[in-house]
Amino acid sequence: MPNPIIYDLMAARPELLVLCMAMAILILDLFLGYANRYVSYVLAQVTLIGAAILTVAHHTPGVSFAFNGMFVHDPLADVLKLMILLSSSVVLVYSRAYLERSGMYRGEFFALTLFAVLGMMIMVSGSHFLTLYMGLELLSLCLYTLVALDRDNARATEAAMKYFVLGALASGMLLYGMSMIYGATGSLELAEIRRALLSGSPDHAVLILGLVFVVAGVAFKLGAVPFQMWVPDVYHGSPTAVTLLIGSVPKFAAFAFVIRLLVQGLEPLAIDWQGMLIIMAVLSIVIGNITAIAQTNLKRMLAYSTISHVGFLLFGIFAVSINGYTSSMFYIAAYVLTTLGAFGMILLLSRQGVEIEQLDQLKGLNQRSPWYAFIMLLLMFSMAGVPPTLGFYAKFAVLQAALQAGFVGLVIFAVLMAVIGAFYYLRIIKLMYFDEPADITPIKPTSDVAWVMGINGMLVLLIGLMPEWLMELCAYAIAQSVE
């Protein structure tokens, strides 16, 4: 019988690597001059790649628990952690030039990013209310700080304050809901809660009240209506590199949070939370798409686009089936890949003294660079759900899952709203290809950004043409981990 402490530590090897390296970067940065700040960037990239290698190397198809049942090691956790780590690495590649220009190329940014990644990894492996909440708060506190990291930027400071106040309110609601569920079931462990619910003994009224608060807290982290008010302000006010991070990678952790809480812990109450998710999904698609049409700021438009995408994501969850959860996981992977490219393109086109934020700044991009205009076209087609891009198959998968669950009217409504929502994506394509450029400055990204952006754009097309392997990976992760 192995030493239980050693067993626990071995189960959390990737997390321990990220934790130790984040602290090391924070201390090492004190001794680095500005000319050597690239060391922090390199160490952060090495950490993310190293943790990804550890995750793959120690993957097992079974489900095991550590830290007295508070930490679960299963295929769902491994696949999502791998996606989180690789996506975070791409975020740092896209952000480096922006950070150098804005004076944020410091160890604090990389350390906070790694601590945020650690919070996401803990959320992904949480099998206990305390573990889930601890991971969520670690992630949230890092994101609040990153938004306000550019201390001379009044808009960023305002966004950070709004994010912090609303985030604290949502965390309080989530914690209150968890405490009520604990009071009704007598346990904080998800498996024990599920068993207590299946036995039929807990107080149903208290459970439903707790469930309402839990769903409200989860909806805030996803950015679903009616808890979406922070999304456009934070996306617009944050430094673009931070917007890239907030708008992409944490969505994996939010998806895991939903699966762990609502599916693995509270699935016996599915008939109750299903109705709440349906309302949020419908409102998110309507408000997200219609409000995005009126936007002239690119970051705000993508923020409202995110809200509508969350609505589509929820279609797979409220289907309450393995196929539904699989399609939602596929959707979130497709969304993050596309969002990384979209915000990465904003960073790529920006330069010293010129930040690309308005839609009009994309005019004539095809005349400046046909290659980057083509990549942006693929990204916008993917977000709009136009075949043969990845976004089309992702929307098709979640709507098919909802259709199989009997939600015919909702699926028809979602298709109509997707057609309406395509307008604001196609508007960007029109600006790039049919308008005269307002700026004719050559686009000269660094070689690493050029390569990663090219791969990012091509993956959106190639996975759209051959989505089977990613869908199979998601199906494997869900089938092995969700009962």
Structure tokens at 369: 């660079």
Cα–Cα distance for residue pair 224/282, rounded to 1 Å: 10
The winner for highest mean pLDDT among 61-65, 112-116, 446-450 is 112-116
pLDDT, position 398: 92
Taking the C-alpha atoms of residue 189 and residue 273, their distance in angstroms, rounded to an integer, is 19
Residue range 99-115: mean pLDDT, rounded:
87
Q: Which of 71, 213, 89 is nearest to 135 (CA)?
A: 71
Question: In this model, does residue 206 exceed pLDDT 90?
Answer: no
Residue 438 has pLDDT above 80, yes or no: no
The pLDDT assigned to 100 comes to: 84
The residue assigned the tokens 């071995």 is 10
SS3 66: strand
Q: Is the pLDDT of residue 230 over 60?
A: yes
Q: Is the pLDDT of residue 221 over 80?
A: yes
Quick one: which of 134, 143, 120, 141 has its CA closest to 175?
Answer: 134
Whether cis (ω within 30° of 0) applies to the bond prior to 388 is yes
- Tell me how far apart the alpha carbons of residues 473 and 75 are, in angstroms, rounded to a whole number: 10
Closest C-alpha among 368, 346, 312, 352 to residue 449: 346
* Cα dist from 275 to 278, 315, 375, whole Å: 5, 11, 39
The pLDDT tens digits of the residues spanning 243-277 come to 999 989 999 999 999 999 888 888 888 888 888 99
Q: What percent of the chain has pLDDT over 90?
A: 42
Q: Provide the residue type at 396 as one letter.
A: F
Predicted confidence band of residue 1 (pLDDT cuts 50, 70, 90): very low
What would you report as the CA-atom Rg of the chain, rounded to the nearest whole angstrom?
A: 22
- The pLDDT confidence band at residue 138, using thresholds 50, 70 and 90, is very high
Average pLDDT over residues 225-235: 87
| pLDDT above 60 for 111 | yes
pLDDT of res. 143 = 93
Does the structure show a pLDDT above 60 at 196? yes
> Is 373 within 8 Å of 433 (Cβ atoms)?
yes
Q: How confident is the model at residue 115 (pLDDT cuts 50, 70, 90)?
A: very high
**Does residue 390 register a pLDDT over 80?**
yes
Question: In whole angstroms, what is the distance from residue 285 CA to residue 224 CA?
Answer: 9
Residue 1: Cβ within 10 Å count: 4
Average pLDDT over residues 371-397: 90
Which residues contact residue 197 at a Cβ distance below 8 angstroms, ignoring those fewer than 6 apart?
185, 207, 266, 268, 269
Higher pLDDT, 144 or 36: 144
| pLDDT recorded at residue 79 | 92
Token digits of residue 476: 């494997």
pLDDT above 70 coverage of the chain, percent: 99
Q: Which of 87-101, 134-148, 277-291, 351-365 has the lowest mean pLDDT?
A: 351-365
List all residues 6 or more positions away from 193 whose beta carbon is below 8 Å from its beta carbon. 181, 185, 187, 265, 266
SS3 string, 317-379, reads HHCCCHHHHHHHHHHHHHHHHHHHHHHHHHHHHCECCECCCEHHHHCCHHHHCHHHHHHHHHH
User: For the segment 36-83, what is each residue's pLDDT rounded down to a tens digit?
Assistant: 788 888 999 999 999 999 999 888 888 888 888 888 888 999 999 999
Predicted pLDDT at 330? 94
Query: What is the overall mean pLDDT for the chain?
Result: 88
pLDDT at 4 over 80: no
Q: Is the pLDDT of residue 285 over 50?
A: yes
Overall residue count recorded for the chain in this entry: 483
pTM of the model: 0.93
CA distance 358 to 267: 44
Reported as a pLDDT band with limits 50, 70 and 90, residue 281 is very high
